[in-house]
Chains A and B, each alone.
Chain A
Amino acid sequence: MSTMVGTGSLVRLILRRDRLRLAVWVILLAAVPLGTASAFIELYPDAASREQLAATVSSSPSLVAVLGPLYDSSVGGLVTWRVGVIAAFLIGLMAVLTVIRHTREEEETGRRELLGATVIGRHAPLAAALIVPIGAGVLIGLILTGGFIGMGFPSAGSLAFGLGLAGVTATFAGLGAVSAQLTQASSSAKTIGVAGLGIAYLLRIAGDVGESSGALWLSWLSPIGWFSQLRPFAGEQWRVLALWGGLTLVLLGGAFAVSSRRDVGAGAFPPRPGPAEAGPGLRSASGLGWRLQRGALLGWSLGLGVLGMVYGGAADSIGDMLEGSPQLAQIFEQMGGEQGLTDTYFSFVVGVIALLAAAYAIRAVLRLRAEEEDLRAEPVLATATPRSRWAWSHLVYGLAGPVLILALAGVLGGLTYGLISGDVTGQVPRVLAAAVVQLPAVWILTGIAMALYGLAPRHVGLSWGALIACLVLGQLGQILRFPQWTLNLSPFTHVPNFPAQDIEVLPMAVLLLVAIALTGAGLIGFRRRDIG
């Protein structure tokens, strides 16, 4: 097919450009399930201990909400419950972002045009951008299938786990491809794609939590929910694979159809004309910062606010549970909590929300680097705008944005839980406080991003490495039995697990000082270094 000419060369180009990025994704997504599996083999050696855990989980909507349903008490079944949905979410994120990065972003920057004039078929760039992440998904699936079989898990379940992740990758690569066709700006395309992923995750929560009341059909609407319904290690339902296949084909068909009709660089929605003059809000560096940051701030606040509500809603029945279940307490302990099940649950979920708020903060700060690299900083800095004022016009979102996001998620989570449990005045301040105490840890990541930007601008990508390290250490460090000193590297280890624990001022003050030092170092470095 002549429209596919050059696909192979483009695949090699993408692999060359993304070799580090893809390697991190593949290693992370392969190592976490395998590490969890080997830890679970040791933790739950006999059937009795596993069944106790399974019974606890199945009766705990909160655990089902955060991690997914548990369908079998074999080690494979437990691993599928513990990391399956998280892995599916992350692999979907990888697929969406990679496809958009190599399609819409290439068009937006004009690099696509440079290639389009060479012997490259019209569909080759989209095909290549799909082949790479789907290939990475298949590779991760193969590693996991092989690894699980090597650990002595049943072959059918191991294969289902691998195929399921590959299916999720293909579907979300398809979603990324469709999103990339719709808008001119790659940032809006990413927002659409990630929103789709978020909706799939929330549908899954609603369906899985409401399984007993017949709401499971909601999970069947979610390509992430399908991963649980594929039931790896729990009587595999192979027909589910056809759902991913079918939806992928539909999405890809749509993406290629739009792609062959539209002009290079154009979106499905024609851009509307803007005002001929700048309004009063756009007459300063901070006005420009607001204009560039407001969309992301709104989207993240809404998204994480809804997540807070869903988590708050799922907390309800935890109080009904047997307080004396040692197994559940043990699980929560592994998650970093100590006692008081609802409290532990809330300190756990606000930890998840805080990590996401940190992702927002890093993104907000790194907007500085994007502006500089895309040559949009230069004209502004050639005006009477001092460097520090320009830097603050974006940095403020990395500092104040997480305050807004965590406060909103805390209030909405507390409100939802309070309405259900009939204790609004008691719960709102508790959950709000649980969320807000995370801020010093979030600001450390803001500070890391700013320090890298000011002192080592070529290496700002390491900020994401720091976030991934916090994710791995915080969510899996104890299960994977990392030594305590490595766990201590994550700032999230040091924030109080309120309301499960009391608030201690000293660690928070130290975190705050470190965050201030990092941010200050970044600002000073930025004022002294070359631009560009």
Chain B
Amino acid sequence: MSNAISISGLVKNFGHVRALDGLDLEVATGEIHGFLGPNGAGKTTTIRVLLGLIRHDAGTVSLLDGDPWAEATELHRRLAYVPGDVMLWPNLSGGEVIDLLGKLRGGLDTSKKDKLLERFDLDPTKKGSTYSKGNRQKVALVAALASNVELLILDEPTAGLDPLMEAEFRACIEEDRSNGRTVFLASHILAEVEALCDRVSIVRKGKIVESGSLAELRHLTRTTISAELTSDPAPMAAIEGVHGLRLHDHKVDFEVDSDRLDVVVRSLAPLGVRSLISHPPTLEELFLRHYQDDVDVDSSETET
């Protein structure tokens, strides 16, 4: 299967500021790809390059096997976009905007639109100026989801939605997955990405710092283990791959490199396990490793 999006060595400068600094990204056709990164990391800039709204300075970008700058108009028939900041025309109703954007894209599935309006509990007769932020977001979402396009590009689409609507959004994306639609989802809502995405790319300072399936990414990190033992847990400290060991009587807490998990659990057993809690790294832990400026992979080795 070919890639819906493939970017390599993408560079974009705004004056003296380098917004994208050699970004590489592959999104396979049919997958739901999470695009994670802190504010200002370059998520929106990447999306704007993909939409042909801005020109890139270096690198190659291919979108649906086309050039997003030169073939913008043709490519835009095959995708739908939900901006992070949805602004509507104050004197147009939500329903008018949905129809207009659908028409400009080349068509709208009316029955799908009606269903979505109901699911998102959106009143299409209200004027743009009277919608709340969440409702403006819903207008853009309905307009995008109601189209029968191959690719959805969503920039923080649930910002401003209440939890019920967020759940509805996830359900819609799940349905799209089964329909074979490719979804490129920029977000920093980790739970959403964890629940929806097949693969994830983490961007930081204009570069991809991590990319892969959640399972692959987890593999790179550590599992947290808390255990209560019948004998002295001190020997655990000597085992390779155990980090951040904390002892308290017969209780022990530590983190273990995911690829050493098997060895470590085997060495726990002889010490007499009374209780054992283990949890895999959450996306949040994974994320924080890349988000925090001062904590890089090397310094995390020496944490206490």
Contact = CB atoms under 8 A, between A and B. Distances in A.
Interface string B89-129: 11111011111110111100000000000000000111101
A380 B101 CA distance: 7
A271 B89 contact: no
Contact of B104 (A108, A383, A531): A383
Interface stretch (A173-181, A274-282, A304-312, A448-456): A274-282
A502 interface: no
A280 B248 CA distance: 74
A532 interface: yes
Interface in B32-55: 48, 51, 53-55
Instruction: Summarize A's interface: helix, strand, loop or mixed.
Output: loop
B288 to A, nearest CB: 30
B83 interface: yes
Contacts of A237: none
B99 A376 contact: no
A157 to B, nearest CB: 47
A274 B129 contact: no
Interface stretch (A56-64, A244-252, A285-293): A285-293
A273 interface: yes
Contacts of B127: 271-274
Interface in B145-194: 153
A275 B103 contact: no
A276 B125 CA distance: 5
Given A275-B96, A276-B95, A376 B54 contact: no
Interface string A387-409: 10000000000000000000000
B89 A376 contact: yes
Contact of A384 (B73, B97, B99, B125): B73
A382 interface: yes
Contacts of A273: 93, 125-127
A407 B95 CA distance: 37
Contacts of A385: 73, 76, 104
A273 B96 CA distance: 11
Nearest to A377: B53
Contacts of A531: 48, 53-54
Contact of A381 (B53, B55, B91, B96): B53
A185 interface: yes
A283 interface: yes
Contacts of A278: 95-100, 103
A384 B104 contact: yes
A379 B101 contact: yes
A474 B91 CA distance: 38
B90 A185 contact: yes
Interface in A465-482: none
Interface string B67-91: 0000011101101010101111111
Nearest to A529: B55
Contact of A375 (B76, B77, B85, B101): B85
B140 interface: yes
Contacts of A378: 51, 53, 83
A525 B81 CA distance: 25
A290 to B, nearest CB: 12
Of A274, A282, A284, A291, most B-chain CB atoms within 10 Å: A274
A259 B55 CA distance: 46
Contacts, number: 119
Interface residues of A, number: 38
A235 interface: no
A274 B89 CA distance: 12
Contacts of A283: 99-100, 103
A282 B103 CA distance: 9
B130 interface: yes
A7 to B, nearest CB: 27
Nearest to A278: B99
A374 interface: yes
A382 B76 contact: yes
Contact of B103 (A271, A284, A374): A284
A291 B92 contact: yes
B83 A375 contact: yes
Interface in A288-333: 288, 291-292
B129 A184 contact: yes
Contact of B124 (A277, A380, A387): A277
B100 A274 contact: no
A283 to B, nearest CB: 4
A14 to B, nearest CB: 23
Contacts of B103: 278, 283-284
Contacts of B93: 273-276
Given A278-B100, A282-B100, A375-B87, A382 B81 contact: yes
Interface in A259-273: 271-273
Interface string A506-530: 0000000000000000000000111
B76 A271 contact: no
Contacts of A292: 89
B99 A185 contact: no
10 contacts: A185-B91, A185-B129, A272-B127, A274-B95, A277-B99, A288-B89, A291-B92, A375-B83, A379-B101, A387-B72
Interface of B: 48, 51, 53-55, 72-74, 76-77, 79, 81, 83, 85-93, 95-101, 103-106, 124-127, 129-130, 140, 153
- The 6 A-B pairs at the shortest CB distance, nearest first, are namely A274-B93, A278-B99, A383-B104, A530-B54, A273-B125, A276-B95
